[in-house]
Amino acid sequence: MMVWAGSTLLAFRMSAIQKEGSVIKRGKPEGPIRWTTLGNAPFPKPDEPCSGYLLQAGGANVLVDIGGGSLAALQHYIRLEDLHAVWISHLHADHFSDMPLLYYAFAFSEKPLRKIPVLAPVGWAQRVEAFVKSSVDHKMKSFFQVIELKDRGIAEIGDLRIQARVVEHGVPAFGLAARFGDRRLAYTGDSGPCDTLVSLGKGSRVLVAECFSREIEIPSVHLSPEDAGLTAAHAAVARLVLTHLGPGLEEDEAIERAGSAFNGAIEVAHPGMVIEV
Ligand SMILES: [Zn+2]
Ligand SMILES: [Zn+2]
């Protein structure tokens, strides 16, 4: 594993053979990007975790967001020893609140787990440390490579590249563009409408867009269905996947309203939904 940082580039590479868990080989990127929705609810319900997605390509397994319930859901798909990185869009509880429990998983695992990078907005490690504080100090760096996201920072896990971009959410928050060979997928995280979302989506086949706002508010820290549709249209993606629907917003209504601004395919994400790009 290697880490380096530049003015606009923050990247790490994981291609080293690890003692435990799976190995990622670099080479010619072949195969799809797979995006599995673990959960996308604003608070956890039975079988409906909060925001969490499993991003996979070329043998790399990345957990994107780690809201309540998503850590358990993740383990329906992969073992924790096969997790290579965690990427967290922002520190709201519905995207972050299982992180202290991931720490417990690493700290108390019967079988030692290898150190993995956790990439999240500034201050994430201190927040989790404050949360898990007890009679002994718990340090995130004991089990994780602590990385704070920066605008345009790029993480490389094998041949999977993930670029972070700052989005509009009233707190430090990021969207991502994932690239594996010529395959691309973008995810808004939580954000109000902004040009950055359009540039994140440009060149991607699929845009996974939050759709939390039932009402159209200006300014807003979330997308309404119309905002999501317009963003997808401006980014010229083929497919729009609406996720993280807010209270009172029915799926049919969200699809119809997003479709007023976007001609491509539109779906709503559910736990267990798998997209291949
Ligand atoms: Zn949020
Ligand atoms: Zn949220």
Q: Write out the residues surrounding ion ligand 1, Cβ under 5 A.
A: 92, 190
Q: How far is the CA of 67 from the centre of ligand 2 (A)?
A: 9
Q: How far is the CA of 94 from the centre of ligand 1 (A)?
A: 7
* Predicted model pTM: 0.93
User: What is the per-residue pLDDT across 49-100, written as a single tens digit (0 to 9) for each?
Assistant: 999 999 999 999 999 999 999 999 999 999 999 999 999 999 999 999 999 9
pLDDT at 274 over 70: yes
Q: How far is the CA of 135 from the centre of ligand 1 (A)?
A: 32
∠ CA(206), CA(208), CA(213), 5° rounding? 140
* DSSP assignment string, 61-92: EEEEEE-TTHHHHHTTT--GGG--EEE-S--S
pLDDT at position 4 is 32
**Residue pair 168/191 in contact by the 8 Å Cβ criterion:** yes
Query: Taking the alpha carbons of 173, 121, 13, 116 in that order, is the dihedral positive or negative?
Result: negative
CA distance to 6, 160, 161, 237, per residue, from 11 (Å): 9, 12, 9, 26
Could you tell me the pLDDT band of residue 22, with boundaries at 50, 70 and 90?
low
Could you tell me the pLDDT band of residue 17, with boundaries at 50, 70 and 90?
very low
pLDDT at position 1 is 37
Q: How far is the CA of 238 from the centre of ligand 2 (A)?
A: 24
3-state secondary structure of 24: coil
Q: How far is the CA of 90 from the centre of ligand 1 (A)?
A: 7
Q: Which ligand is nearest to the CA of 174?
A: 1
Q: How far is the CA of 175 from the centre of ligand 1 (A)?
A: 12
| Secondary-structure class of domain 32-276 per CATH | alpha beta
CA dist 161 and 236 (Å) reads 21
Which tokens hold the place of 26?
A: 């670099």
Please report, for the chain, the start and end positions of each structural domain, with discontinuous segments joined by +. 32-276
Q: How far is the CA of 110 from the centre of ligand 1 (A)?
A: 34
User: What is the per-residue pLDDT across 207-236, written as a single tens digit (0 to 9) for each?
Assistant: 999 999 998 877 899 999 999 999 999 999
